[in-house]
Amino acid sequence: MNNNTKKHYIVGGAGSGLGQAIALQLLQQGESVITVGRSLEKLQALQSQFPNQVQFIVGDITSEATLNAFIQLAKSAYISGICMNAGGPPAITIWETTMEQWDMAYQLLLRWKVKFIKAILPHLEQQGYGRMVFIESATIKEPMDNLVLSTAFRLAVTGFVKTLSNEYAHKGITCNILAPGPHNTPAIERVFKKKQEQTGTDIHTIQQQENNKIPVKRLGNATEFAQLALWLLSKEAGYITGQTIAVDGGLIKGVFG
């Protein structure tokens, strides 16, 4: 292992949305962040804002070349926490899906995460420490309209993470899932646009209708979401592992939501 024990955090999708909010919170605390993303401009902007704290790989995380480069970069540092996060598949009904889209969703939501974790686990074991947080979706707890691809493969991630937590908890490595409901980030736009396509209702009305379904009567805020992620990535969260925590303003009605 690299003798440099300065803490580093891995944050996927740090260019926007929930990933960006988590990265910013870490960087504002003086932490070092390693990330990957498709937008060179967004990652360079983050690096310019926090010189000497940001390293990144530009590319599609589902491609073998990008993923392998990211794994090598991660292995070069002491990894304190990992936030697994990437974009989601299209909002679509079961009937509208193609088999190519199912294959794509497997690559986007499951395969790269398994490969990355398997590659980095020996590194974390050698450290004797690690925190993992997977950013998935509240559809894990309760399926939502037009999100069948997301629901199916994020449930597979849940099974993987629960098993992972059981196998590695005694080695100082914790693994948890955050399951966000509707948040005021670019990701919600594809859901609203799909509902507009289906109903002919304008986007503003759709947003108001969705807000009214949520007990707190608003969309989530990325910064408040990031606070919980940071705690789960911290040393203080050592006694919580294998959990899937919904962050949804009370939207899920089940007792164990």
Q: Which tens digits make up the pLDDT trace of 223-234? A: 999 999 999 999
Asked, for residue 72, whether it belongs to a domain, the answer is yes
Total domain count for the chain? 1
* pLDDT range class, residue 33, cuts 50, 70, 90: very high
Q: Buried b / exposed e across 140-174, counting CB within 10 Å, b at 16+?
A: bbbebebbbbbbbbbbbbbebbbebbeebeeeebb
Residue 2: predicted pLDDT: 42
* 99: Cα separation from own chain's centroid: 24
Asked, for residue 218, whether it belongs to a domain, the answer is yes
8 A C-beta contact, residue 120 and residue 83: no
Asked, for residue 222, whether it belongs to a domain, the answer is yes
Asked, for residue 255, whether it belongs to a domain, the answer is no
Residue 1: predicted pLDDT: 38
Residues 179, 227: Cα–Cα separation, whole Å:
14
Residue 171: name the closest of 135, 134, 120, 136 by CA: 120
- If 0-12 CB within 10 Å is exposed, 13-18 middle and 19+ buried, where does residue 224 land? exposed
Domain that includes residue 101, residue range:
7-245
CATH of the domain at 141: 3.40.50.720
Torsion sign across C-alpha atoms 88, 216, 223, 6: negative
- Mean pLDDT over all residues of the chain? 92
Residue 13: name the closest of 37, 40, 39 by CA: 37
8 A C-beta contact, residue 67 and residue 116: yes
Torsion of CA 135, 36, 219, 158, to 10 degrees: -10
Averaged pLDDT, 86-94: 90
8 A C-beta contact, residue 80 and residue 136: no
Residue 3: predicted pLDDT: 41
Beta strands in the chain (DSSP E): 7-12, 32-37, 54-58, 78-84, 130-135, 173-180, 244-247
Residue 129: name the closest of 165, 172, 176 by CA: 172
* pLDDT range class, residue 187, cuts 50, 70, 90: confident
pLDDT by residue (tens digit) across 65-87? 999 999 999 999 999 999 999 88
Asked, for residue 159, whether it belongs to a domain, the answer is yes
Residue 186 pLDDT > 80: no
Averaged pLDDT, 102-131: 96
Asked, for residue 252, whether it belongs to a domain, the answer is no
Asked, for residue 253, whether it belongs to a domain, the answer is no
